């Protein structure tokens, strides 16, 4: 069945200061070169590219361990503003990252939009990591490991950005295989929905996604999806600075995105942690574009043949 045409806004977020390894700032350009606008247009959608956000100038600091809080906060506020504008216009926002610290602003925009519509929001976090550290618990200080703690209401981010908070039960982590001990304790204490690769191995990605999407349907909720390159097995998606073996296979990743797309509930999407400097001839960028197309209605037999 052909999905209805959507109006989509691409929003670039060339942020790399949330991570310890440079290169993610080139991610938006790589996704554009890999043909994200063309792929979505070919599916019948109306696509507008808003360009890259310009971070706001801020002065801020947090107690505890957090690297580059001013830069991350500047991007968060710019992305919140750009995301809210696109969502208020009834468009689907696709954020081209950038490291995962962009989610401070992207999820804030999604939460504000859902609140304005009187709707609930569920966040599907496709990632090897939970990103549930705070400045007090992080050992590295890398803020790309903290956004989920922020938007689920953990303390330590005062002054960063004002937004509604996500109930942790509506935070669905899928594909995790590297979680710090402090994060494990917080996730368990808050009642977050953690689906690590062992759960996927045992039950299958289809069963895991069906349950999550049924919960969103029960709440008549909107979806924000955050897709990290390291969700995927690094052999097929090497362009990432946080390699963790044992990720989702090609078909598992596509099935997850296809199932999300079939709900018609996805209001916003992050594509994060793509580091073209570490990629193999654009392999990871092309895969991220293909996965995005799957979330917007491309069927398995519509996939283009890739050159050898």
Catalytic positions, please?
100, 127, 129, 131, 144, 228, 230, 273
Task: Tell me how far apart the alpha carbons of residues 45 and 91 are, in angstroms, rounded to a whole number.
Answer: 11
The whole-number pLDDT of residue 307 equals 52
Q: Which H or E run includes 94?
A: strand 92-97
Domains of the chain (ranges, CATH numbers): 7-301 (3.40.800.10)
The whole-number pLDDT of residue 61 equals 84
Mean per-residue pLDDT pooled into runs of 10, the chain (308 residues)? 82 98 97 98 98 95 90 98 98 98 98 98 98 96 98 96 97 98 97 98 98 98 98 97 95 98 98 98 97 92 57
The whole-number pLDDT of residue 109 equals 98
H helix count then E strand count, the chain: 10, 8
Q: Is the peptide bond before 88 cis (omega within 30 degrees of 0)?
A: no
């Amino acid at each position: 069945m052909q999905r209805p045409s959507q109006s989509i806004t691409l929003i670039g977020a060339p942020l790399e200061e949330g991570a310890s390894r440079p290169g993610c700032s080139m991610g938006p350009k790589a996704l554009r070169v890999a043909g994200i606008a063309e792929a979505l247009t070919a599916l019948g959608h109306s696509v507008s590219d808003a360009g890259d956000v310009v971070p706001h100038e801020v002065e801020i600091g947090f107690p505890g361990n957090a690297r580059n809080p001013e830069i991350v906060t500047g991007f968060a506020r710019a992305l919140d503003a750009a995301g809210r504008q696109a969502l208020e216009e009834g468009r689907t926002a696709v954020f081209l990252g950038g490291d995962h610290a962009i989610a401070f602003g992207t999820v804030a925009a999604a939460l504000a939009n859902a609140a304005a519509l009187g709707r609930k929001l569920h966040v599907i976090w496709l990632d090897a990591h939970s990103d549930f550290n705070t400045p007090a618990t992080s050992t590295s200080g890398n803020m790309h490991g903290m956004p989920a703690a922020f938007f689920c209401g953990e303390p330590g981010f005062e002054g960063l950005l004002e937004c509604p908070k996500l109930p942790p039960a509506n935070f669905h982590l899928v594909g995790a295989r590297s979680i710090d001990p402090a994060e494990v304790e917080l996730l368990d204490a808050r009642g977050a929905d953690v689906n690590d690769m062992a759960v996927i191995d045992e039950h299958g990605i289809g069963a895991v996604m069906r349950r999550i999407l049924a919960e969103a349907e029960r709440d008549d909720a909107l979806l924000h999806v955050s897709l990290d390159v390291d969700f995927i097995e690094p052999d097929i998606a090497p362009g990432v600075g946080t390699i963790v073996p044992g990720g989702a296979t090609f078909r598992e990743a596509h099935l997850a995105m296809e199932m999300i797309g079939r709900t018609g509930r996805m209001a916003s999407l992050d594509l994060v942690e793509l580091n073209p400097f570490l990629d193999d001839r654009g392999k990871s960028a092309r895969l991220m574009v293909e996965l995005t197309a799957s979330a917007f209605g491309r069927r398995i037999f519509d996939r283009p043949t890739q050159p050898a």
